[in-house]
Structure 1
């Protein structure tokens, strides 16, 4: 059995073939993705994965795109314009 990855985990958002959603999600889990949210009707899901496993996820048949999840923080509405 292979040694677990020691790479930092990153958040990802994936678009997959909605007609094969369950099959593709299963393959992504086997490839190291920890799924946090699924939207099967539109064919998207999000989760975390070791950064060095991103190429493995991209190679899964049925994956259409992978984007890193980025948090955007806005100042409160009453803050002065910067």
Structure 2
């Protein structure tokens, strides 16, 4: 099988697992509602920017990437 196809299949599987984990684990892990996320509510508008959630996800992905490079 083509290496690009294998990589896309693996990435797709990982994304599906992460989506399921997010759905089930969302009750205990409040990603998207962390302290520091910006929420502005007005009469006809709600603006939401999850800056702290983005930083946490970025740090986790950086750590995972670093671990992969460490053991390669």
TM range (shorter): under 0.3
TM-score, normalized by length of structure 1?
A: 0.20
State the structure with bigger RCO (CA 8 A, min sep 6), 1 or 2: 1
More helix by share: 2
Q: Tell me the TM-score normalised to structure 2 length.
A: 0.21
